[in-house]
Amino acid sequence: MQRHLDTTLEGAQPGPVDRTEVYRRLNFPRGADHPVRRPYTAVNMVSTVDGKVVAGGPGTTRLIGSDTDHALMSRIELQADCVLLGAGLIRADDPPYPRLSAERQRQREARGLRPQPLWAIVSGAGEFPRLPQALAAGGRTGTALFTTAAMTSTRRETLEEHTRIYVCGTQRVEVPQMGAILRDELGVGSMICLGGPGLNATLIEAGAVDELFLTLAPKLQGGSNVPTLLEGRAYPPEGLPLLELLSLYSEGSELYLRYRLPASAHR
């Protein structure tokens, strides 16, 4: 791989680097307090060059990025206490909860992280066509579901057998409530949000995202109305938030970008 820029590593020079070195020690801060008390949060997404983050039907998102992208994504995820997932991502791709070796759990603990990551899902009412794999494998200790008062009591009873449920709003999950629960009740200092675009909008609009990891896959998707990494309300043209590039790596024509989000992304 090639390093083009890395402002997070002292003295890092551009040039060839071993793949194992990229995103090896992210050292995320444990918590953020602006604009509300919450875990330090990074969003991690892959898009085509034309900005699309959905490739086709269920299970096809993984076709956007290369094997290197998948490996880097896992490496980023494993350096945080919690992985946050939107219900759309769960319904489309149903990602499995990771089983970590005892050695890997020890390494995480030595770095001040939860030995097993918490996988937390955000959904208005917890409607899934089948029990998400993450809840089936992670269970009540490894997972949580943030939802609203719109969840029926029958649904709640079913899901509570598999996960802990937190009601954080009437119509929408409110980020300040969710952030405080994650940080204070569940001990989450750092969190990686795997999207999708709807959940990214919820967090970014609330000013609750500190960083964005973006893989730009050298592919074109095309198509109208195919989601980009950020749905929700548009920023006014004279007020587009300006991101700061923290690092840039590449392998072949695929780019791995890490940005810091400005406070102006909050609205």
Ligand X SMILES: NC(=O)c1ccc[n+]([C@@H]2O[C@H](COP(=O)([O-])OP(=O)(O)OC[C@H]3O[C@@H](n4cnc5c(N)ncnc54)[C@H](OP(=O)(O)O)[C@@H]3O)[C@@H](O)[C@H]2O)c1
| 95 is a site residue for ligand X (CB under 6 A) | no
Figure out which of the listed residues 32, 54, 82, 145 binds ligand X, where binding follows CB under 6 A: 54
**3-class DSSP state for residue 82?**
strand
What's the token pair of residue 221?
């998707």
Q: Which of residues 125-154 bind ligand X (CB under 6 A)?
A: 125, 127, 148
Quickly list H helices, the chain. 67-77, 87-93, 102-110, 133-142, 153-160, 175-180, 197-205
| 231 is a site residue for ligand X (CB under 6 A) | yes
Figure out which of the listed residues 24, 34, 140, 172 binds ligand X, where binding follows CB under 6 A: 172
What's the token pair of residue 265?
């992304």
| 61 is a site residue for ligand X (CB under 6 A) | yes
Alpha-carbon distance of 73 to 26, in angstroms, equals: 12
DSSP state of 236: P
| 186 is a site residue for ligand X (CB under 6 A) | no
Figure out which of the listed residues 26, 32, 42, 53 binds ligand X, where binding follows CB under 6 A: 53
Cβ contacts of 110 within 8 Å, gap of 6 or more: none
What's the token pair of residue 228?
């980009």
Of the candidate spans 20-28, 87-95, 184-192, 255-263, the one that interacts with ligand X by CB under 6 A turns out to be 87-95
Using the minimum distance from each CB to ligand X, give the nearer residue, 17 or 92. 92
Which residues of the shown chain bind ligand X in the complex (CB under 6 A)?
Answer: 45-46, 53-54, 61, 64, 86-89, 92-93, 122-125, 127, 148, 172-173, 194-199, 202, 227, 231
